[in-house]
């Protein structure tokens, strides 16, 4: 074939979830990977390059894990269409590599029978072969290869065993380039699935001897981790540890990043003459990029936990334990992980909803994820709490300020559950998707694969958030800087800007919730990132940069605002549709403007109502 000379041969990895497919992909391609999205859908496309022994390049595509070509989720649609060569903008693969967990062959054999019908050249990689051997599982490789009509390679992806062999087999098939077979695949009906199972069963019986020493560890661990009481207690302990880590481990690095960006801003402000360009660079570009990067340490710690728990096999157990609890609110057990991520930042949380098969379940989760208390709210909460809530001990042991903080977290969680409940009840009545999930055997995570996944997550966050936040920051900077202050003006420049005008113009609408126009002006830059509102409050109350310490600002706020206003501001912040990048990500993930608009609308309504109730009650209680 002439075109194989021009372009590298294309290989696609297909297999069940938990078959070690990603580890095999890493072993094949090493660092030569790139991640993007498939055109028009928000499914991650992972592609890498490998070089054969004689120097030929082969491109490897890691397709989402599936049990069947009969696709049910957007991920599985991609796998099916890629295998069939029907995916827009993709060439059909020259060779398929079916990846199988050698200790768990039953379901993958049925998938392989489906893949055979596609008619592409195929290699079967029996991965985790070391575990199979340890268990004394005996596989008649020659017989199985004959039966399936494709070469078989045994691999241990985490130890890079069998990789050269696999590459050689793939290369041989790619060179032969036998694409004469036409695909005879079509969606199987129930009878055909049963038939395929019988066939898989027959093949297993003929060529695989059951393990002499089967894994008993998973069963033993599960009897503790899936225990109705002990299991939930352990899950809570794991979550507690995770939150501790997210907030304590990440802190020093966050401070460092923060200081570095402040120093950079200071340097620019010193070297360049004051003016529009300098303001653009320091207030727009540098503080904008800084406000995103400062969350990177937290997100990396969070993802480290998630990846470790996922690779260990625990995440499926967490989904099992949480399914009914979340199901009461109409959420899927799998929504647990995305919502958990949203405590650090809603952006990775919304991106993580891709694990949810069903569109409605996924949309519900996306809609409520921004209600979880992300870490960008913390600086604002801390500021307002220290300004308005006295630090005194209540009920003997608890600090009132800590209690209020806890209450704000609780309000976020409860409102998320409430909104999803209402969504389920009124928007998508009665449609509860089936919940079927494999509980994989526990496995020790592999350091290299964990590191690689973590790096990938960090990279995706930075690029994704960067490309969305950056233009937003520029826009917000523009609103807060134009037009500039007139000569001889006494008030801070932001008061004369478009933001200042907007603030004063819409203030009457916020009078019932007790907000003054300065607060509204500060909320506008808060759209770029929530915590920016703290700095903006400093600006509108004309504090010099040096005095903008939280302590000083808190005193100023306590002087200018009533307690009722302070409390209303807190209530507003629990729900407020802020952080433009969240809506940007919702737009990207749902491929439509409809969902960000709905999310914005309902959050705005909730924020206003909550602030109104809190303000009016507090006023009635004499705190106005």
Partner 1 sequence: MIINRKNQVPDRPMHDMLAEPITSPTAPIQGAAEGRLVRLSTARPGDRGVIIEVRAESHPGDHGVGVEELQRRLLEFGFVEGAGIEILHEGAIRRDPIAVRLDDMRIALRRRDAEDVWILLDPR
Interface stretch with partner 1, choices 117-125, 165-173, 202-210, 473-481 (CB under 8 A): 202-210
Task: Confirm or reject binding of residue 431 to partner 1 (CB under 8 A).
Answer: yes
Residue whose CB is less far from partner 1, 273 or 434: 434
In this chain, which of 218, 262, 382, 516 binds partner 1, going by CB under 8 A?
A: 218
Determine the Cα–Cα distance for residues 144 and 127; give it in Å rounded to an integer.
15
Read off the tokens for 560: 């200018």
Task: Confirm or reject binding of residue 99 to partner 1 (CB under 8 A).
Answer: no
Task: Confirm or reject binding of residue 551 to partner 1 (CB under 8 A).
Answer: no
Please state whether beta strands 122-127 and 95-101 pair in parallel, antiparallel, or not at all (unpaired): parallel
Residue whose CB is less far from partner 1, 145 or 204: 204
Task: Confirm or reject binding of residue 325 to partner 1 (CB under 8 A).
Answer: yes
| CA 466 to the chain's CA centroid | 15
Residues 424, 330: contact at Cβ < 8 Å? yes
In this chain, which of 437, 485, 598, 604 binds partner 1, going by CB under 8 A?
A: 437
Residues 6+ apart with CB under 8 A from 354: 42, 43, 44, 74, 75, 362, 589
In the shown chain, the binding pattern of residues 223 to 252 toward partner 1, with x for contact by CB under 8 A and - for none, equals: x--xxxx-xx--------------------
Coil, helix or strand at residue 472:
helix
Task: Confirm or reject binding of residue 143 to partner 1 (CB under 8 A).
Answer: no
CA distances from 262 to 10, 235, 265 (A): 47, 39, 5
Residue whose CB is less far from partner 1, 22 or 103: 103
Window 162-201: residues binding partner 1 (CB under 8 A):
188-190, 193-194, 197-198, 201
In this chain, which of 222, 258, 446, 448 binds partner 1, going by CB under 8 A?
A: 222
Coil, helix or strand at residue 138:
strand
We find the least distance from the C-beta atom of residue 71 to partner 1, in angstroms, to be 11
Residue ranges with strand state E in 140-189: 152-154
Interface stretch with partner 1, choices 80-88, 322-330, 380-388, 584-592 (CB under 8 A): 322-330
Residue whose CB is less far from partner 1, 52 or 358: 358
Residue whose CB is less far from partner 1, 103 or 291: 103
Residue 321, exposed/middle/buried by CB under 10 A (0-12, 13-18, 19+)? buried
In the shown chain, the binding pattern of residues 499 to 528 toward partner 1, with x for contact by CB under 8 A and - for none, equals: ------------------------------
In this chain, which of 75, 311, 323, 531 binds partner 1, going by CB under 8 A?
A: 323
Interface stretch with partner 1, choices 7-15, 324-332, 348-356, 494-502 (CB under 8 A): 324-332
We find the least distance from the C-beta atom of residue 433 to partner 1, in angstroms, to be 4
CA distances from 109 to 71, 115, 121, 126 (A): 17, 10, 16, 11
Q: Within 13 Å, how many C-alpha atoms sit on residue 117's CB side?
A: 16
| Torsions phi, psi for 11 (to 5 deg) | -120, 140
Of 295, 241, 286, residue with least CA distance to 266: 286
Stretch (H or E) spanning 40: none
Task: Confirm or reject binding of residue 67 to partner 1 (CB under 8 A).
Answer: yes
Determine the Cα–Cα distance for residues 590 and 582; give it in Å rounded to an integer.
12
Q: Is the peptide bond before 483 cis (omega within 30 degrees of 0)?
A: yes
Determine the Cα–Cα distance for residues 348 and 462; give it in Å rounded to an integer.
10
Residues 6+ apart with CB under 8 A from 429: none
Coil, helix or strand at residue 97:
strand
Task: Confirm or reject binding of residue 131 to partner 1 (CB under 8 A).
Answer: no
In this chain, which of 432, 474, 502, 612 binds partner 1, going by CB under 8 A?
A: 432
Residue whose CB is less far from partner 1, 377 or 424: 424
Residue whose CB is less far from partner 1, 210 or 407: 210
DSSP letters, 513-553, are: GT--HHHHHHHTGGGT-TTHHHHHHHHHTT--GGG--HHHH
We find the least distance from the C-beta atom of residue 431 to partner 1, in angstroms, to be 4
In this chain, which of 78, 144, 208, 293 binds partner 1, going by CB under 8 A?
A: 208
Residue whose CB is less far from partner 1, 186 or 198: 198
In this chain, which of 136, 219, 266, 551 binds partner 1, going by CB under 8 A?
A: 219
Q: Within 13 Å, how many C-alpha atoms sit on residue 336's CB side?
A: 22
Residue whose CB is less far from partner 1, 159 or 198: 198
**Residue 613 burial (CB count, 10 A):** 13
Residue whose CB is less far from partner 1, 161 or 197: 197
| CA 499 to the chain's CA centroid | 32
Determine the Cα–Cα distance for residues 471 and 284; give it in Å rounded to an integer.
10
User: Can you tell me which residue has the tokens 């989720």?
Assistant: 73
We find the least distance from the C-beta atom of residue 229 to partner 1, in angstroms, to be 7
We find the least distance from the C-beta atom of residue 188 to partner 1, in angstroms, to be 8
In this chain, which of 10, 110, 116, 377 binds partner 1, going by CB under 8 A?
A: 110
Residue 162 has what DSSP assignment?
Answer: T
Read off the tokens for 171: 């290369």
Residue whose CB is less far from partner 1, 327 or 445: 327
In this chain, which of 430, 486, 488, 508 binds partner 1, going by CB under 8 A?
A: 430
Determine the Cα–Cα distance for residues 473 and 279; give it in Å rounded to an integer.
12
For binding to partner 1 (CB under 8 A), which residues are involved?
Answer: 67-68, 70, 72, 103-104, 106-107, 110, 188-190, 193-194, 197-198, 201, 204-205, 208, 210-211, 214-216, 218-219, 222-223, 226-229, 231-232, 316, 319-321, 323-325, 327-328, 333, 358, 360, 430-441
């Amino acid at each position: 074939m002439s075109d194989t000379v021009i372009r590298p041969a294309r290989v696609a990895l297909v297999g069940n979830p938990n078959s070690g497919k990603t580890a095999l992909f890493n072993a094949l391609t090493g660092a030569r990977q790139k991640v993007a999205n498939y055109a028009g859908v928000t499914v991650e496309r992972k592609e890498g390059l490998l070089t054969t022994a004689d120097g030929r390049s082969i491109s490897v595509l890691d397709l989402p894990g599936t049990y069947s070509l009969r696709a049910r989720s957007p991920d599985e649609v991609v796998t099916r269409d890629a295998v069939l060569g029907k995916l827009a903008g993709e060439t059909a693969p020259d060779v398929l590599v079916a990846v199988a967990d050698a200790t768990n062959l039953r379901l993958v054999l049925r998938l392989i029978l489906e893949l055979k019908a596609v008619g592409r050249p195929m290699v079967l990689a029996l991965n985790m072969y070391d575990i199979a051997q340890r268990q004394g599982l005996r596989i008649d490789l020659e017989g199985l290869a004959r039966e399936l009509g494709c070469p078989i390679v045994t691999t241990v992806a985490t130890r890079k065993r069998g990789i050269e062999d696999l590459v050689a087999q793939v290369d041989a098939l790619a060179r032969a380039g036998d694409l004469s077979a036409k695909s005879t695949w079509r969606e199987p009906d129930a009878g055909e699935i049963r038939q395929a199972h019988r066939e898989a069963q027959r093949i297993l019986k003929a060529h695989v001897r059951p393990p002499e020493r089967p894994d008993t560890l998973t069963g033993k661990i599960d009897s503790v981790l899936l225990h109705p009481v002990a299991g939930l207690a352990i899950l809570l302990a794991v979550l507690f540890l995770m939150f501790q880590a997210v907030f304590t481990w990440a802190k020093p690095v966050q401070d460092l990043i923060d200081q570095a960006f402040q120093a950079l801003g200071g340097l620019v402000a010193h070297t360049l003459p004051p003016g529009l360009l300098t303001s653009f660079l320091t207030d727009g570009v540098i503080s904008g990029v800084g406000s995103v990067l400062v969350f990177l340490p937290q997100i990396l710690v969070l993802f480290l936990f998630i990846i470790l728990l996922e690779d260990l096999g625990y995440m499926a157990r967490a989904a099992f334990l949480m399914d009914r609890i979340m199901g009461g609110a109409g959420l899927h057990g799998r929504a647990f992980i995305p919502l958990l991520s949203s405590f650090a930042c809603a952006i990775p949380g919304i991106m993580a909803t891709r694990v949810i098969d069903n569109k409605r379940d996924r949309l519900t989760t996306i809609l409520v994820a921004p209600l979880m208390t992300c870490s960008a709210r913390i600086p604002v909460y801390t500021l307002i709490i220290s300004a308005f809530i006295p630090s005194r001990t209540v009920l003997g042991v608890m600090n009132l300020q800590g209690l209020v903080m806890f209450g704000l977290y609780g309000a976020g969680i409860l409102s998320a559950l409430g909104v999803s409940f209402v969504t389920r009840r009124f928007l998508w009545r009665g449609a509860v998707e089936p919940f079927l999930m494999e509980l994989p055997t526990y496995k020790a995570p592999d350091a290299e694969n964990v590191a690689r996944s973590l790096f990938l997550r960090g990279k995706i966050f930075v690029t994704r958030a960067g490309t969305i936040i950056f233009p937003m920051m520029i826009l917000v900077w523009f609103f807060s800087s134009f037009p500039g202050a007139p000569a001889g003006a006494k008030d801070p420049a932001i008061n004369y800007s478009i933001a200042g005008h907007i603030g004063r113009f819409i203030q009457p609408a916020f009078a019932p919730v007790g907000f003054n126009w300065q607060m509204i002006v500060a909320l506008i830059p808060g759209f770029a990132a929530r915590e920016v509102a703290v700095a903006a409050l400093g600006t509108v109350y004309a504090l010099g940069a040096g005095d903008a310490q939280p302590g000083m600002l808190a005193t100023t706020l306590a002087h200018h605002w009533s307690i009722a206003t302070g409390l209303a501001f807190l209530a507003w912040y629990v729900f407020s549709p802020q952080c433009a990048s969240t809506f940007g990500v919702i737009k990207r993930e749902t491929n439509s403007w409809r969902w960000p608009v709905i999310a914005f609308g309902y959050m705005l309504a909730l924020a206003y109502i909550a602030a109104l109730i809190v303000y009016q009650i507090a006023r009635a209680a004499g705190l106005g």
